[in-house]
Structure 1
Amino acid sequence: MTQISRTTAPQPWIDLIFAAKSAQGGVIRRSIGWVDREIGRDRFLYEVRRRGFHLIMAGDQFVIVCDPRPIQIVF
């Protein structure tokens, strides 16, 4: 995997993502490339896990289910 060098601090992006209305029980979608570039994957995974949310990788996207309750993938 190629290391991507960030040009911005990750915290403003993290604050913006998790302050969004969709982060209050909804779903957030971000491209994996964007996450790697702007936040860094390890930090992103940490922030999702810290909130007790669920993270799904679908194609080139991360999908965050912003609800700590159990989820079930139907198909």
Structure 2
Amino acid sequence: MTDIIALIPPDIWLLQLFSAKTAREGGIVRRQIRDVERIVGRANFERELRRRGYHAVENAGQYVIFCNAEPVRVLC
């Protein structure tokens, strides 16, 4: 499956990510950092997050993406 993912164009990959039901409803989605960097690139990913007004955090090899413009607080 990893080989198939590498064939997806970056714009389609981003479209699929943000078209997911959870993302459309303003929820939270996760993606592996290595997939984001390999398919889209970190700079392009961050640019798209900013364009949409979304936030993301990085932890344990994953990006946790908050698909809304609400503030994010780290509790501890």
Q: Please give the range of the TM-score, normalised by the shorter of the 2 chains.
A: 0.7 to 0.9
Residue of structure 2 in register with 1:3 after alignment: none
Scaled by the length of structure 2, what TM-score is found?
Answer: 0.82
> RMSD of the TM alignment (CA)?
1.3
Residue of structure 1 in register with 2:15 after alignment: 15
Residue 73 of structure 1 aligns to a residue whose secondary structure is: coil
List structure 1 runs of 4+ shifted beyond 6 angstroms: none
Residue of structure 2 in register with 1:36 after alignment: 37
Deviation at 1:8, TM superposition (A): 4.1
Q: Where in structure 2 are the equivalents of 1:1-75 lying within 5 Å?
A: 7-23=7-23, 24-75=25-76
Q: Is there any run of 5+ residues in structure 1 with no aligned partner, and where?
A: 1-5
Deviation at 1:39, TM superposition (A): 1.1
Q: How many pairs were matched up?
A: 70
Rounded Cα–Cα distance in structure 2 between residues aligned with 1:64 and 1:8: 20
